[in-house]
Amino acid sequence: MSDVRVIEVKQSVFADNDRKADELRATLRERGTFLLNLMSSPGSGKTTTLTRTIEVLKDELSIAVMEADIDSDVDARTILNTGVRAIQLHTGGMCHLDAYMTEQGLDELVREDAIDLAILENVGNLVCPAEFDTGASANAMILSVPEGDDKPLKYPLMFSICDVVLINKIDALPVFDTFSMERVRENILMRNPNATIIPICAKTGEGIDVLADWLRAQVADWKSR
């Protein structure tokens, strides 16, 4: 009997996706569009953080948002209320977006109009979204205080690929008194020494100005390359 041929499907899928992601980044650079891939657990405050940030930046940057969910259009409707363009992407049960899906969304979102800042709000999940390169210019994630300061130890890949980590719901620190800002910084930097860490409260707006400054600098640098 001949030997069974083994095909490493996962490796093949990732390699193909990585090629598409690089192609998409090159296209985005030509367009002058900075794409931020925003990830987190469900309920960490992604959409609220986006609405706060959009309010600060929408008069100086052209912004558009892709909302990715398994179902519903709740988040896209929320973003539309800020006055920027938004579309909803349904993943058909998949727990992440890849570069091909992102390209489809961008083609619908951007079309012929110039967009300075495009944001992908990825599916709420600390595992799958981290495994697939979406073609984004930068990766960001939100860790909320109620989730605990040990998440960088439990989900290392997510924290290792992110350019910026937002620590949200800092107004809840007095309630979740086992959460240590010092310890969470150490845990994040253990996984990713180059990560920018920004404490925020999307509810009150605290720290959003720092996030907005980071985004301004990133968009300007992307356009100047």
Q: Could you report the per-residue pLDDT of 62-71, keeping only the tens digit for each?
A: 999 999 876 7
Closest C-alpha to 148, from 187, 111, 106, 110: 187
CB-based contact 119:62 (threshold 8 Å): no
Q: How far does Cα 210 stand from its chain's mean position?
A: 17
- Residue 118 contacts residue 29 (beta carbons within 8 Å): no
pLDDT tens digits for 43-67?
999 999 999 999 999 999 999 999 9
Top-confidence residue, 60 or 11? 60
DSSP, res 206: B
* pLDDT tens digits along 143-184: 999 999 999 999 999 999 999 999 999 999 999 999 999 999
- Strand spans (E) along 25-183: 34-40, 63-69, 85-90, 117-121, 138-144, 164-168
Q: What is the pLDDT of residue 7?
A: 46
CA angle 154, 155, 156 (to 5 degrees): 105
Please classify residue 120 by burial: count the beta carbons closer than 10 Å to its beta carbon, then call 0-12 exposed, 13-18 middle and 19+ buried: buried
Ranges 105-109, 140-144, 211-215: which has the least confidence: 105-109
**Mean pLDDT of all residues belonging to the chain:** 92
Predicted TM-score (pTM) of this structure = 0.92
89 pLDDT above the threshold of 90: no
Tokens of 59: 């008069």
